[in-house]
Chain A
Amino acid sequence: MGNEAEVAEFSAFVARSQARMVRLAELLTGDRGRAEDLAQHGYVQAFAAWRRIRDGEPDAYVRRCIVNANTDWWRRRTWREQPFAIMPEEPAGADAVAAFADRDVVLRALSRLTNRERAVIVLRFYLDLSEQEIAAQLRIAPGTVKSAASRALAKLRSDGALRAEAVS
């Protein structure tokens, strides 16, 4: 495959998967700008390995890169972690307002979790990974996954805004 054909194939892959990848990164980080940076990082890694992964599961490869990069990032900066402040940008209309509201509620609820709890919840309920897979992905014990998920779900259940959103 020539270089141009390879770039075209890769560009098509990015075009059809980038929304999901940025969503994943945003759920993990709670920050749209950093989410796009993380997704871009995942795609850079994927392009570097494209000849090896294109016939396999490139989506899974990019997801792994995003999760690992985020994990490495929060492992490095746990000691100075700050809660996220999620503020919607200028809305364009009523639908956009509703969409931002939904997203804001979800991201605010996730931002009240610790990094590990948030990662466990996102991997479990967004990527639908098993406890074993999450443990491997985050390099923690399966028992830690279970306890982190339990704590996270308890926090989410007690989140007033999230409960209101769920029943509305």
Chain B
Amino acid sequence: MSDQGLIDLDYEDAETVDLDIGAIVRRGTRLRRRHLAIKIAAAVVVFGLVPGAVTMDVSHQGLPGMLGTQRAAVHRHASDGHKSVATAGPEYGPDEAGPGISFKFTLPAAYGPVRDLTGEQSGAGAWFWASASHVITLFYLTPQGKLSSWPLRQPVVGRYFMNDAGPLVNGAGPVQEATDAAGDLWLARGRTVELVRS
């Protein structure tokens, strides 16, 4: 492409250009509002349909030597974007922590029993499920007391958790056990998860 001299695109223009700036600003303002509305709508859709992760610290003292009551829990409804933090009643106090139990956490009463307790295979921590009235939630609990939760909508897989002995429930029986990659033993009974370190 070396024919710049063939055609002069910078020809003189006898016509003056006078665009309507007022109309441009008005239409641009409307376009801005439309973009904003689209962003808001997209955010509503995303937060309404996609399960979000919620993380909170449920430890009060931190490890080591974490003995005592751990009663906080997270309850988040993915369907309407509502998030609330609930605290369970004083079901487990320091005097109830048995020997060797270094951490104890109880889900609030709105939840059913802990399901499918599984040790983290690449580090320290435990995974488990629990169902509330409208959501089932995947939880991840670390030995430091960090609790992460991923609420899922009930119709997707929730029916498996509505009954006590669904097909995905591995930890049948009154106590579930799991060991993580760090060698810690996790126990679950009802709505309570315990970390046991010898």
Chain A residues proximal to chain B, CB less than 8 Å: 7, 10-11, 14-15, 18-19, 22-23, 27, 32, 36, 39-40, 43-48, 50, 89, 91-92, 95-96, 98-100, 102-103, 106, 109-110, 121-122, 124-126, 131, 146, 149, 153, 156-157, 162, 166
How many residues does chain B have at the interface if contact means C-beta atoms less than 8 Å apart?
Answer: 28
Q: Are B11 and A103 in contact, CB atoms less than 8 angstroms apart?
A: yes
Chain B residues proximal to chain A, CB less than 8 Å: 1, 3-15, 17-21, 23-25, 27-29, 31-32, 35
Which residues on the A side are within 8 Å of B29 (C-beta)?
47-48
CA distance A23 to B28 in the complex (A): 22
Q: Are B17 and A10 in contact, CB atoms less than 8 angstroms apart?
A: no
Give which listed residue, B12, B17, B32, contacts A99 with CB less than 8 A: B12
Give which listed residue, B6, B17, B23, B31, contacts A22 with CB less than 8 A: B17
Give which listed residue, A22, A50, A98, A121, contacts B7 with CB less than 8 A: A121
- Please indicate which of the listed interface residues B1, B8, B18, B20 has the most CB atoms of chain A within 10 Å of its own CB: B1
A-B residue pair count with CB separations less than 8 angstroms: 102
Q: Are B25 and A47 in contact, CB atoms less than 8 angstroms apart?
A: yes
CA distance A46 to B32 in the complex (A): 10
CB distance from B170 to the nearest CB of A (A): 51
Report whether over half of chain A's contact residues are helix, strand or loop; otherwise say mixed.
Answer: helix
Sorted nearest first, the 9 A-B pairs with minimum C-beta distance are: A47-B28, A99-B14, A48-B31, A96-B14, A102-B11, A126-B9, A99-B12, A44-B27, A43-B24
